[in-house]
Structure 1
């Protein structure tokens, strides 16, 4: 009975932490998440887009505030630090 209790206790602590580590390792890889770059905050952009940290996310928001809403995805490459490779990683996640 003691062994069974110990095993259950270990499972309760180890399984959730391993799931959290797996979820954070590839930043939502395999999950269909979309973000509207014309409405999202810098924090949301940094959290939901792959390869986008706070600095690049803030650059997106600053560009949007200066020039208005993005009208097509390729326009994001005009933002400093956003190149084709980052755009390609996130094409399915970005909404306008």
Structure 2
């Protein structure tokens, strides 16, 4: 009984995560499509071009008609795809992005010096 409940809760949590990362393949920009695993600039551009040429996707499986997207790629991205609704993706930090790296960088010397008492303050408290 508990095992079934745990599996149900786990499935529910996973579905929420996927719902938050839904990419509408009928309206997404190239940049939004690139947020999908296995989809780089070339495949993203090919998806947009296919969509323009064919009037949008009728089924999720139709994306496999785009050059470079086969069964394996489709299986990886399918949970993140939708045909309707707003595209919702969470921004991911880019590896090597100096702005993103600064958030995890060590504090500057001025910050660490301010946190430590001056040498004269240390002597007075002995």
What range describes the TM-score normalised by the shorter chain of this pair?
Answer: 0.5 to 0.7
1:38-70 deviations in Å (ceiling 9; x for gaps):
0000111002x1100000000000000000110
- The counterpart of 2:31, out of the listed 34, 43, 58, is 43
CA displacement at 1:90 relative to structure 2: 1.0
- Which structure 1 segments of 5+ residues have no match? 1-30
Normalization by structure 1: what TM-score? 0.65
Q: What is the alpha-carbon distance in structure 2 between the residues aligned to residue 74 and residue 37 of structure 1? A: 11
How many residues are treated as equivalent by the alignment?
65
Is 1:60 the counterpart of 2:47? The answer is yes
Larger radius of gyration: 2
- The counterpart of 1:89, out of the listed 52, 68, 76, is 76
Counterpart secondary structure, 1:71: coil
